[in-house]
A and B are shown apart, each in its own frame.
Chain A
């Protein structure tokens, strides 16, 4: 990190490569499709490269880079003035889930609940139907494993609002995956 900030190009490249896949996962989930995710991630990588010299270390680099990537994704979606458009549904279970979800209850779902979700799983399509603010909060929590305070810093909202958005986002996702024809209301303002 220090070397990259001091102008060491190789250090920056190593840093970006190390964090690339998790930023990709974030962008992929927030934008819902490969093409937009590639655009957004490229913008994010450029922003990181340009901003690394000014990065002050007050937030962890991971949190900061998530923030940059989240902004890039939301910017990309705003630019296109639409919700995410999901690609063809992915194969369920590709890759491994990240380990070490902090503070989380060990997965308690019943087999029936998991199957009911997995059988209809097009998580990107469901995420695309969520209000943007809920989607970002849920993805930052459940994919990126940020805690509520970190998510608050990324999204610029208080932790209480983070908690509310995550709960409502998860709830809407559960309803959507259980009944894909339901569409949640989309609020026009941020709480």
Chain B
């Protein structure tokens, strides 16, 4: 039984005590497994050594930031918790003040640069929207979304998120993409295929229905009721986790092998990836769109 298995797998299983007595005895008799066991045990011991302790000042700052967040529960906390969707507006999920652009952030300089860049982008977008409004009468949804976005740009934690490189720097901006229902799929490949069809069809509007799903408003409340684990932190984290700063091409949700997932298609044209995050904020799919 054990002879046909990979020595690495056997040695690792033996190291973790996963083999039966008979299997373990047989594995130990195999010189290749025994040699690999010694090496893997050494690796385990190396990983297990405790890393150098954190800077005490940094530790206190981190704890202080956490306690500040605790003191200022966000809207989701006040609303009763878990019924928060990753697709919900990131703006609504941000704490009032726990993350500020203060010098204790190790990369505060970089964040200030991002803040400046975000402010410039917002100013340009604002001017563009204003120009559009002057041309069209100024009552479309885009102007509303943009003005909300501009107003949040003045908050310190919005600036911190901008430092993460997604919310205000990756066009097309949030709030302008509808959330597409990608339906039930049985595998990541099927999900990628369906997402690719959505993207090819133009995705976020009427074409969604043609591919078997339906487009929803990004502001919709029905979808926001789907439970999500607190492990995600907030919606911005889920978005950053999925997009990693790349442009978001499509936002949607699906049921993947029975599990609800939120889906993003991210990346430059021709190099898009489909990323799915499950209800507990784990990335369950991350693969090229055309796989």
Contact = CB atoms under 8 A, between A and B. Distances in A.
Given A67-B231, A163-B13, A167-B9, A189 B287 contact: yes
Interface residues of B, number: 78
Contact of A74 (B44, B107, B241): B241
Contact of A174 (B36, B66, B245): B36
A188 interface: yes
Given A12-B67, A54-B77, A171-B8, A113 B107 contact: no
A25 interface: yes
Given A16-B66, A48-B66, A54-B77, A189 B42 contact: no
Interface stretch (B98-106, B135-143, B147-155, B173-181): B98-106
Contact of A164 (B9, B280, B291): B9
Nearest to B52: A90
A45 B62 contact: yes
Interface in A138-169: 138-139, 141-143, 148, 155-157, 163-164, 166-168
Given A46-B66, A113-B41, A170-B43, 17 more contacts: A24-B53, A34-B54, A42-B65, A45-B63, A45-B65, A47-B237, A49-B98, A78-B244, A95-B49, A108-B41, A124-B51, A138-B47, A142-B47, A156-B284, A163-B13, A167-B11, A189-B285
Contact of A103 (B18, B54, B66, B288): B18
A161 to B, nearest CB: 11
B106 A35 contact: yes
A79 B244 contact: yes
Given A94-B50, A171-B8, A47 B17 contact: no
A49 B70 contact: yes
Contacts of B281: 71
B30 interface: no
B47 A50 contact: no
Interface in A14-33: 16-17, 20-21, 24-25, 28-29
A128 interface: no
A37 interface: yes
Most A Cβ at <10 Å: residue of B105, B244, B245: B244
A188 to B, nearest CB: 6
Contacts, number: 265
Contacts of B67: 9, 12-13, 16, 49
A155 B282 CA distance: 6
Interface in B223-263: 230-234, 237, 240-241, 244-245
22 contacts: A38-B58, A43-B233, A49-B98, A54-B230, A79-B244, A90-B51, A94-B52, A95-B51, A103-B16, A104-B17, A109-B39, A109-B45, A113-B41, A123-B46, A142-B44, A142-B47, A166-B12, A171-B40, A174-B36, A178-B39, A188-B287, A190-B283
A129 interface: no
B73 interface: yes
A85 interface: no
A190 B285 contact: yes
Contact of B232 (A20, A71, A96, A163): A71
Nearest to A141: B16
Interface in A54-81: 54-56, 64, 67-68, 71-72, 74-75, 78-79, 81
Interface of A: 9, 12-13, 16-17, 20-21, 24-25, 28-29, 34-35, 37-39, 41-43, 45-56, 64, 67-68, 71-72, 74-75, 78-79, 81, 90-98, 101-105, 107-110, 113-114, 116-118, 121, 123-124, 127, 138-139, 141-143, 148, 155-157, 163-164, 166-168, 170-171, 173-174, 177-178, 188-190
A39 B106 contact: yes
Most B Cβ at <10 Å: residue of A17, A35, A67: A67
Interface in B9-23: 9, 11-18
A68 B41 contact: no
Nearest to B287: A189
Nearest to B281: A71
Given A47-B230, A104-B15, A167-B8, A139 B99 contact: no
